Amino acid sequence: MLKEFVWNTFLNTGSVEAYIFMKELESLEKLHKEKKITEEEVAISN
């Protein structure tokens, strides 16, 4: 939901800061997913 809001803000204003913030959110989301997968793999191997 936040990502959609930031994207719409970028589309409406052309704000570079909004675009950078959206990219940071995507990066954090990706890191969170990778961490979760890694934790699950470690739990399975134990």
Mean pLDDT of 12-19: 95
Contact 9, 18 (CB under 8 A): yes
pLDDT band at 1 (very low <50, low <70, confident <90, very high): confident
Which pTM was predicted?
0.75
Q: What pLDDT sits at residue 21?
A: 95
Q: What pLDDT sits at residue 17?
A: 95
What are the pLDDT digits (tens) for 22-46? 999 999 999 999 999 999 988 887 6
- Could you give the C-alpha distances from 9 to 17, 29, 36, 37, 45, in angstroms and in order? 10, 19, 30, 32, 44
Q: Tokens in use for 36?
A: 């979760």
Give the residue, 43 or 14, on which the prediction is more confident: 14
